[in-house]
Structure 1
Amino acid sequence: MKTLRLLTILTLGGGLALGGHWSSNDGRWSVHAEVTPAAAEANRAPLYYRDPGGAPLWSAAPRKDDRGRDYLPVYDDQPAAAAPKPAQAESSRKILYYRNPMGLPDTSPVPKKDPMGMNYIPVYEGDEVDDGTVKLSPGKIQRAGVRSEPARRRAIRVAVKAPGTIQLDERRVSVIAMRAESFVQKVADVTTGTRVKAGQPLMEIYSSAVASAAAEYLSTITSKTTGGIEIYGRGSRQRLVNLDVPEQVIAEMEKTRVAPVTIHWSAPRDGIVLERSAIEGMRANPGDVLFKIADISLVWALVDVAERDLGNIAVGQGVAVRARSFPGRIFSGKIAIVYPQVNRDTRTVRVRIELANPDAVLLPDMYVDADIDTADSAPVLAIQDSSVLDTGTRQAVLVDKGEGRFEPREVKLGRRGGGHIEVRDGLAEGEAVVTSANFLIDAESNLKAALKGFADAAPQASEPGHATGEHK
């Protein structure tokens, strides 16, 4: 009796069905248990749980809705429930098709659910507009943060940045070299890096060739000569000039009528001594450079401009140069020359900028950064950079037509700079374009085009022998 009571409890509590029959062989009653449908369903794992009220809500685990009702389990072999009927206001409108609730390019001619149990959304006749615009509700526009701004005419400032180095002005460098065999008798207190003035003594030189030419010149200018001899005297003076004897030395000889034993060489210009090779007592052969002096009151900034920016620069444009050694100081200059060659390795073009350097703080080979101002005073039609949808092969903007309608429109663009971009074609002045959340509207436009293509093919899919759009 106890055994029978236990089986009864297990049967009622566990969803078991008892069955039995009388055995005539051993005189006993045989009992067997069968699993009921409720127990079989309890042994299966549901795919997910859906809202008991039919709302497009689901959960991966058991839960309750806001009214305390349990979410209903959905199994893999459970047929999809019919979609709820449209509201009375929409019941009179014709349903074109049903689209995927998650925005996927999947439509169905009949109501259905997606794999998560969400009902497909009906698309009614009249919702589709064939003028190429995208229509969004005011709530969606507000949630997406859509902002529009009219296209206006403005000056585009394209800032071209280029690195470079300071170099000497080739026209302001002088060397002192002997043109005949000479000996250095004495060197002034001048070393590499010393600042010198034009005419300042540098060294004394003795040269037999210079002494011979000086004696010959003095003999011609001191003798009673005829016109032919005077011509010969001018030739003797030219010989001294060819030996690079300083002009003031020749003038002193003509005044005193005395040929000096040694020649005083002086600085040919104001500048800095970049090189001193002269040493007292040394022998200097023709061509030997004894001093090299450079005027650095005007220097060059040689910068490398990217090939893509070459069309924005021209000779005469203003440039602001910043030396890395003086980060808070700006040196102003202008483009003097754009070199006619592109570096094949770096794809850059060398540009020369002339800079005033009155206090001589810009030194050769110093690193600098140049900002080339390419602003054009003529205003052009421009929009914000964020307004452009660039696919690589085409550029488009979204024109705000008002009342939540947006029109995708292809445009041709020009220069970029200062957060704006020039529009050369496709847009009129005053037309409002979307400046923020335009990618969301563009996605909505692409979805609309995809849904329209599926809707056109939906009647064919509903013919006999074709699938109805449901996933098998």
Structure 2
Amino acid sequence: MKTLRLLTALALGGGLVLAGYYWHSNGAGWLAEADISSAAAAAERSPLYYRDPSGAPLWSAGPKKDDRGRDYLPVYDDGAAVTPAPPKAQAASPRKILYYRNPMGLPDTSPVPKKDPMGMDYVAVYEGDDTDDGTVKLSPGKIQRAGVKSEPVARRSIRVSVKAPGTIQLDERRVSVIAMRAESFVQKVADVTTGTRVKAGQPLMEIYSSAVASAAAEYLATITSKTVGGVEMYGRGSRQRLVNLDLPESVIAEMDKTHTAPVAIRWSAPRDGVVLERNAIEGMRANPGDVLFRIADTSVVWALVDVAERDLGNIAVGQSVAVRARSFPGRTFTGTIAVVYPQVNRDTRTVRIRIELANPDAVLLPDMYVDADIDTADAAPVLAIQDSAVLDTGIRQAVLVDKGEGRFEPREVKLGRRGGGYVEVRHGLADGEAVVTSANFLIDAESNLKAALKGFGEAASQATDAGPGNATGDHK
């Protein structure tokens, strides 16, 4: 019998005999007496390839060792692999197999050994492989295949961009109206039409008014009188009457200089701007209150923007705003928030804000549609993570903390503002901790699968303990 063992070992290419097992020097490992015949038959065949001894989806065309120094197992044309048997000292206390998992890392398990559609054996998961510290443990191969990426938590400035539509309006403080305060007649109108740009002091029209002529004659009589008593006080009153009739200051100054009352009063533009309205026609009669000209300075305009009520907490006076007109798609106008109107539109649930914009080339026209991009960035940096790192169930938000060595800890967090692809973390993480930013949903699915399998195992154990002999009730 000893001779037969020695010859068999020599036929296998040389080996070491120990306690009824044989160590095969070509990588087959420890073989029991019952495996001698199969190992001898395997030596006469050529392996198709070699697979990882731990069952991981790793293969090699030739003999190879894994990172723990174990030999890859040869696989032959019948799909069987020569599996080394452990020494009797190790086989005395075999570990309990919980289930078998898919060799490609798919969420598929089996309570008994089986093969996947590619013919690969399912990998056994032993008792003790799972940890009870609340972490999820993945093999390096699975992490690499899933594309898991982690990023440390850091402090950043969250840039929350609020976008809102609006329209261009004139600055109310830069609009002037020329209206008569007494019955008048328009004798002449300058070559000025609606849309014409005018300068301050530029002549617009000449009018005649009997009320203005009477007040002017009275004022001249006062300032040229030789009477000493009461002239000064009376002169101030007659001048004020001309001012009340809205007579241009330049006309009053000319009367002081020439001591002559003009027959026709020349009216000039009160400011630089654009003629928005011209109602003056030569020969017409103008009643008190009639508007003859309306002129607006368009060098500065307003953008009235409607912001959603939910964004009102991020809006403040003085914030910078980038405004883009739909008529000029490649141009941006920069302004600041001047006023937040103290009222919410009950129909649209929006709040109107006023933005002051410089308009030196007058391309922004009243009632023009614009889109505002309000930068609400806070100068103080806050703890922030990428949006993709958050697992949001609608009720709670959680992240996966990378603990190293393939362990990931699910942790609930409290979030704040979002913007620029990042979200503020107000509670649950510390500066410098690494969180998973890619493939975290796959890890979450793996965690849920393990929890479910663990629950199934506990239920089965309880059912076994409460067998027919342990059932409640009296049996007589």
Say whether the fold is shared (TM-score over 0.5). yes
**CA distance, structure 2, for counterparts of residue 172 and residue 340 of structure 1:** 23
- Is the Cα–Cα contact under 8 Å of residues 225 and 231 in structure 2 kept in the other structure? no
**CA distance, structure 2, for counterparts of residue 289 and residue 103 of structure 1:** 81
The equivalent of 2:437 in structure 1 is: 435
The equivalent of 2:402 in structure 1 is: 400
- Is the Cα–Cα contact under 8 Å of residues 185 and 206 in structure 1 kept in the other structure? yes
Please report how far the alpha carbon of residue 347 of structure 1 lies from its aligned counterpart in structure 2 after TM superposition: 2.4
- Is the Cα–Cα contact under 8 Å of residues 107 and 455 in structure 1 kept in the other structure? no
Please report how far the alpha carbon of residue 260 of structure 1 lies from its aligned counterpart in structure 2 after TM superposition: 1.7
- Is the Cα–Cα contact under 8 Å of residues 156 and 379 in structure 1 kept in the other structure? yes
Please report how far the alpha carbon of residue 142 of structure 1 lies from its aligned counterpart in structure 2 after TM superposition: 1.0
- What value does the CA root-mean-square deviation take over the aligned residues? 3.1
Moved more, 198-207 or 345-354: 345-354
1:464 has 2:467 as partner? yes
| Aligned residue type for 2:203 | P
Identity of aligned residues (%): 80
- Which of 313, 317, 327 aligns to 2:329? It is 327
The equivalent of 2:348 in structure 1 is: 346
C-alpha change, 1:328 and 1:103, in structure 2 (3 Å) is closer
- Which of 434, 441, 448 aligns to 2:450? It is 448
Q: How does 1:122-201 map to 2 (within 5 A)?
A: 124-201=126-203
C-alpha change, 1:90 and 1:179, in structure 2 (3 Å) is farther
**CA distance, structure 1, for counterparts of residue 184 and residue 344 of structure 2:** 46
TM-score normalized by the length of structure 2: 0.73
Please report how far the alpha carbon of residue 250 of structure 1 lies from its aligned counterpart in structure 2 after TM superposition: 1.3
Please report how far the alpha carbon of residue 121 of structure 1 lies from its aligned counterpart in structure 2 after TM superposition: 7.9
1:222 has 2:224 as partner? yes
The equivalent of 2:246 in structure 1 is: 244
- Deviations along 1:190-245, one digit per CA (max 9) or x if unpaired, are 00000000011111111122122222222222223345342222112111111111
C-alpha change, 1:87 and 1:312, in structure 2 (3 Å) is farther
Q: How does 1:6-405 map to 2 (within 5 A)?
A: 67=77, 92-95=93-96, 97-98=98-99, 103=107, 124-405=126-407
C-alpha change, 1:383 and 1:173, in structure 2 (3 Å) is same
Moved more, 361-370 or 398-407: 361-370
- Which runs of 5 or more residues in structure 2 are unaligned? 1-54, 56-75, 470-476
Higher relative contact order (CA 8 A, sep 6+): 1
**CA distance, structure 1, for counterparts of residue 85 and residue 186 of structure 2:** 111
Secondary structure of 1:411 counterpart: strand
Please report how far the alpha carbon of residue 246 of structure 1 lies from its aligned counterpart in structure 2 after TM superposition: 0.8
**CA distance, structure 2, for counterparts of residue 410 and residue 321 of structure 1:** 39
Aligned residue-pair number? 384
Please report how far the alpha carbon of residue 67 of structure 1 lies from its aligned counterpart in structure 2 after TM superposition: 4.9
Secondary structure of 1:232 counterpart: helix
- Is the Cα–Cα contact under 8 Å of residues 385 and 423 in structure 2 kept in the other structure? yes
- Is the Cα–Cα contact under 8 Å of residues 101 and 125 in structure 2 kept in the other structure? no
| Aligned residue type for 1:342 | V
- Is the Cα–Cα contact under 8 Å of residues 166 and 303 in structure 2 kept in the other structure? yes
Please report how far the alpha carbon of residue 382 of structure 1 lies from its aligned counterpart in structure 2 after TM superposition: 1.5
| Aligned residue type for 1:252 | E
Moved more, 340-349 or 145-154: 340-349
C-alpha change, 1:247 and 1:425, in structure 2 (3 Å) is same
- Is the Cα–Cα contact under 8 Å of residues 97 and 107 in structure 1 kept in the other structure? no
**CA distance, structure 2, for counterparts of residue 336 and residue 254 of structure 1:** 44
- Deviations along 1:367-406, one digit per CA (max 9) or x if unpaired, are 2222222222322222111111112221111000011100
**CA distance, structure 2, for counterparts of residue 98 and residue 457 of structure 1:** 15
TM-score normalized by the length of structure 1: 0.74
- Is the Cα–Cα contact under 8 Å of residues 100 and 113 in structure 2 kept in the other structure? no
C-alpha change, 1:171 and 1:142, in structure 2 (3 Å) is same
**CA distance, structure 1, for counterparts of residue 162 and residue 154 of structure 2:** 23
